[in-house]
Amino acid sequence: MEKNPENPVAAQYDKIYSEREAAFNSGKVSPLILEVGKFIPEGGKVIEFGAGQGRNSLVLAEQGFSVTAIELSEVGVNSMNRIAKERSLQNFEARIGDARENLEGEYDSVVSILMLHHLTRVEAEEFILKIKEHTKEGGVNAIETFTSEGDFSKLPDAKGRFYPELGEMRELYSDWEIISFVENKSMATATRSDGSPMFNIKTGILARKPFREVL
C-alpha cells in the first residue's frame, strides 16, 4: 500500500514516532506476546497489525518467527525496518498497510496490540472475523485493546470506535480455545484536564483456533 498523507491517524503517529523513540510502554514487549511463541511451531508465520515501532513484532522475529508488521505510519515502518537491519533480522518485514484491507494467506499467529480502538465497531468486528479465518488450525490470535471501562472510551473522538464491553473479547472468541484472558486497570501517559493520569481497563486475549474434526 502507498503512503496515504491524508489519513489523520497515520499523520498522528508519524508525529509521535518522529518525536519519541519508544512511544508505548517504554518500548518494552507486551507480556502477552511472550506467550505467543509457546503455542506456534518454530519459524512459524506471524503477522502483526498496527505494529507501531515494533516493540512486539521485532521480539517475535528475534525468537525466529517469520514476521510481517503492518502499520499505517511510514515513520513507524521505516524505524522497524531500520532496527531489523541493524539486528540482521532477515525474517522480518515491516510495510505500510491498513488493518482494514484484504488479507492473503494463512498465519500461525495474528497479533494486534492497542490498535483496535482506531477502528469503528463494524470494522473491528470484520477485522476479527478476517484474522480468525486467516489463522491456521492450531494457530493463535493475541489481541490487547482498551475496553469501554476507562477514560479513553469517553474522549470525544472515541465515538463510534471499538471499545469492547468487559468480557466481550472472550465472547468474540467463544468458538476458540481461550488460553488466557485478562482485564486489568492500566495507567495511560495521556492526562485528564486536571493533569491527573488517565486510566483504562485493558483487555488481553490469547486464543487458539481449534482443529477441524475429521469424521
Ligand X SMILES: C[S@@+](CC[C@H](N)C(=O)[O-])C[C@H]1O[C@@H](n2cnc3c(N)ncnc32)[C@H](O)[C@@H]1O
By beta carbon distance, the residue nearest ligand X is: 52
Closest approach, Cβ 100 to ligand X, in A, equals 5
Closest approach, Cβ 34 to ligand X, in A, equals 14
Nearer to ligand X, 24 or 199 (CB): 24
- CA dist 57 and 60 (Å) reads 5
Nearer to ligand X, 36 or 72 (CB): 72
Q: Which of 49, 89, 65, 201 is nearest to 139 (CA)?
A: 65
Nearer to ligand X, 89 or 99 (CB): 99
135-150 and 197-208 strand pairing = antiparallel
Nearer to ligand X, 24 or 181 (CB): 24
Closest approach, Cβ 97 to ligand X, in A, equals 6
- Report helix, strand or coil for 111: strand
Where on the chain is the footprint of ligand X (CB under 6 A)?
9, 13, 24, 49-52, 55, 70-73, 76, 98-100, 113-115, 118
- Which residue reads 492500566 in cell numbers? 186
Closest approach, Cβ 59 to ligand X, in A, equals 11
Please name the amino acid found at residue 9.
V
CA angle, residues 187, 188, 193, in degrees to nearest 5: 110
Closest approach, Cβ 210 to ligand X, in A, equals 27
Those residues whose C-beta lies under 8 Å from the C-beta of residue 66, and which sit 6 or more positions away, are 43, 44, 45, 46, 91
String of DSSP letters for 52-85: TT-TTHHHHHHTT-EEEEEES-HHHHHHHHHHHH
Nearer to ligand X, 62 or 138 (CB): 62
Closest approach, Cβ 50 to ligand X, in A, equals 3
- CA dist 20 and 26 (Å) reads 10
- CA dist 199 and 189 (Å) reads 9
Nearer to ligand X, 34 or 114 (CB): 114
